[in-house]
Amino acid sequence: MSDSGDVQNIPKRFSLVFDPAIFVIDFVSVKDQKLKRRMIRPRHFDEITDCESIADDIIAKNSDILQPGKYSRKQIVSLVQKLKEHFEHSKKGSNSLDEELKTIDLNKLPTDKVEQIKQKMDGLFYSNQLKPGDPGFVYDSRVDFESTPKEPSDWDD
């Protein structure tokens, strides 16, 4: 076996998780012959972003797995397009989740329905989450909540 700089990984399968948007690569590590999984959250994923540039970003950041000749770039672009279409569709329907939560008592729902709603909420959270490097990201943002008027409550008595 050659030294670790020459070790190549072999991609076996590409898949998607829609909520939150995750690109998944299953690959075999040549070093230890084990099937491994890498989960990638595309950054700057919005209506304006070009699918080809996102695919190129995924390929560049995962060059240890996605080496030329070992994968189909067209397949990666196609999967990114599917993620983007789902992302755009979920953005349009994000208000419906708010309306749904106002009318449903989660305590009376079966566990599987609650899990579905939690997954929708997680998807909405991750699509709105700002990370370092994203436009509008502020490190250590502080908000003073004391300036809001306090309502009287018998809870504190």
In a domain, 111, yes or no: yes
**Per-residue pLDDT at 7:** 58
Mean pLDDT over all residues of the chain? 78
Whether the Cβ atoms of residue 39 and residue 140 lie closer than 8 Å to each other: no
User: What pLDDT digit, counting tens, does each position of 78-131 carry?
Assistant: 888 888 887 776 665 555 677 677 777 888 888 888 888 888 888 888 888 888
Q: Which residues 6+ apart lie within 8 Å of 8 measured at CB? A: 30, 67, 70
Please name the amino acid found at residue 107.
Answer: N
Greater pLDDT, 142 or 95: 142
| Sign of CA pseudo-dihedral 28, 31, 36, 42 | negative
> pLDDT digits over 10-22, tens only?
888 888 888 777 8
Q: Is residue 41 part of a domain?
A: yes
Entry pTM = 0.50
Higher pLDDT, 74 or 97: 74
| Residue 50 belongs to a domain | yes
- Taking alpha carbons only, the member of 58, 62, 39 closest to residue 49 is 58
How many domains does the chain fold into? 1
What is the reported pLDDT for 2? 41
Cross-strand partners of 26: 13, 37
pLDDT at res. 4: 45
Tell me if 4 is assigned to some domain.
no
Contact 107, 5 (CB under 8 A): no
Q: What domain range includes position 77?
A: 9-128
